Amino acid sequence: MNYSEALAWLYSLQRFGIKLGLENIRRLIAELNLGPGSARASRAVSGAPPEACTALRVIHVAGTNGKGSVCAMIDSICRAQGYRTALFTSPHLVTFRERIRVNGEMISGDAVADALTKIHDLVRDWDPHPTFFEITTALALKYFSEAKLDIVILETGLGGRLDATNAVQSNVSVITPIALDHQKWLGDSLEKIAAEKAGIIKPKVPVVSAPQKKEVEIVLRQRATECGSAIEFVTAPYEQHRISLPGAHQKLNAALAIAALRREKIDIDDSAIAQGLATVDWPARFQRWDERTIIDGAHNPAAAHVLAQTWREVFGGQRATLVLAILSDKDFQEICEGLAPISDSVLLPKIRSERAAAPEELAQVLSTITPSLPYSITPSIADAIDQARAKPNPILLTGSLHFAGEALAYLRGEPAAFEECAQ
């Protein structure tokens, strides 16, 4: 298969939905020969205890918001120090290849095609068939096992306990702020969601966590105690050097990233921290596209409130022309309530994602909670951006990482480069 054929096959696996569990990924690791001895990097995926993985360090990150930013910061700091890194994140914004990087470089289309061809032939008759995310995780681990690496950074896809990335033996577990999201899969309370995220905590593996609500902290401490794992809550924001990602919350994310490296005794000096944080590139996190256009992937109520706070830090009392698209399984009302106070008017484009809520649904929510806030529905992102640019206010495109990706592809002049994906 070539790249486009391989991606079409992989995307077709989304029909299997999301199935949490480790049986398939463990079988993939075994049958792709990612077990002991196949390569230096594979020692981490073999289930060997952390003391057997001294040459290669694996940092595993779970949480509701900030996972990607923390992973990107760890990666950037380590590369500034001269370490060779691997980074696995999700979802992507524009191209699937963003999810899998070695030393800051995305996996090539040819490498995706070659590995997926092998995996396709391997799993052809499996029952149950591996899911999209299980195959994607296996692809990443296979690619990493063939590279010369010092540090691997893995972001969970959904939850933690039964997420495919949890088949990997880590050296340190990192937990970013936990809030309500993905309740359909993870549970309908903060305690239930925290218990799933806490599933990345492994016996005798240290844990660093962002500040958490009391009920979440109790769950994390209990899991750490059961595992005999030391846990540290990082409460002081990092203030020493400039961070390229705006917002007070990113100072806490930076402190968490540094604490994870310190906990694993990875040798990092102050100049690498300064350089790594100044140059970290993580699009759609309060990304300033131009002087008056901000793109942000906030997609749950907690993230919407943080976004509004960051908007006020940067723009003061200026209100936004809000260009908003939200996925249908999200809490529209609370997201809209979080963003309405910083909005002067709202544009609701129809976007490509099959998971997107209809603009008419969002219009109904807005008219209920803020009847005085003017809104209009547009047939496309292009129309919405044209209308927003005709107004004097700064522009905020937000509501979903999928929407942020489509918007970025459009703004770059490459709408066809957007590889839309439901997961």
Whole-model pTM: value is: 0.94
Per residue of the chain (423 residues), give pLDDT as tens: 999 999 999 999 987 766 778 999 999 999 999 854 344 444 445 444 544 445 799 999 999 999 999 999 999 999 999 999 999 999 999 999 999 999 999 999 999 999 999 999 999 999 999 999 999 999 999 999 999 999 999 999 988 899 999 999 999 999 999 987 656 656 678 999 999 999 999 999 999 999 999 999 999 999 999 999 999 999 999 999 999 999 999 999 999 999 999 999 999 999 999 999 999 999 999 999 999 999 999 999 999 999 999 999 999 999 999 999 999 989 999 999 999 999 999 999 999 998 999 999 999 999 999 999 999 999 999 999 999 999 999 999 999 999 999 999 999 999 999 999 877
Q: State residue 18's pLDDT score.
A: 66
Q: State residue 292's pLDDT score.
A: 96
Q: State residue 16's pLDDT score.
A: 74
Q: State residue 208's pLDDT score.
A: 98
Three-state secondary structure string covering the chain: CCHHHHHHHHHHHHHHCCCCCCHHHHHHHHHCCCCCCCCCHHHHHCCCCHHHHCCCEEEEEECCCCHHHHHHHHHHHHHHHCCCEEEECCCCCCCHHHHEEECCEECCHHHHHHHHHHHHHHHCCCCCCCCHHHHHHHHHHHHHHCCCCCEEEEECCCCCCCCHHHHCCCCEEEECCCCCCCHHHHCCCHHHHHHHHHHHCCCCCCEEECCCCHHHHHHHHHHHHHHCCCEEECCCCCCCCCCCCCCHHHHHHHHHHHHHHHHCCCCCCHHHHHHHHHHCCCCCCCEEEECCEEECCCCCHHHHHHHHHHHHHHHCCCCEEEEECCECCCCHHHHHHHHHHHEEEEEEECCCCCCECCHHHHHHHHHHHCCCCCEEEECCHHHHHHHHHCCCCCEEEECCHHHHHHHHHHHCCCHHHCCCCCC
Q: State residue 132's pLDDT score.
A: 95
Q: State residue 41's pLDDT score.
A: 43
Q: State residue 187's pLDDT score.
A: 67
And the tokens for 141? 């681990």
